[in-house]
Amino acid sequence: MAKTILIADDSDSIRKLLEATLQSAGYDVLTSVDGEDALRHLTGQSIDLLITDLNMPGMDGIALVREVRKKESYESMPILLLTTESRAEKKEEAKVAGATGWVVKPFVQSKLLAVIQKLIR
Whole-number pLDDT of residue 112: 95
pTM listed for this prediction = 0.95
Rounded distance between C-alpha atoms, residue 94 and residue 14, angstroms:
20
What domains are there in the chain, each with its CATH number?
4-119 (3.40.50.2300)
Amino acid 100: pLDDT: 96
The single-letter code of the amino acid at 95 is K
pLDDT at 86: 84
pLDDT of residue 121: 79
List average pLDDT for each run of 10 residues in the chain, which is 121 residues long.
Answer: 95 96 97 96 96 94 96 95 90 95 91 95 79
pLDDT reported for residue 85: 86
| Cβ contact 29:23 at 8 Å | yes
So what's the pLDDT on residue 44? 92
What pLDDT is attached to residue 61? 96
Beta carbons within 10 angstroms of residue 22's beta carbon: 24
CA Rg value for the chain: 13
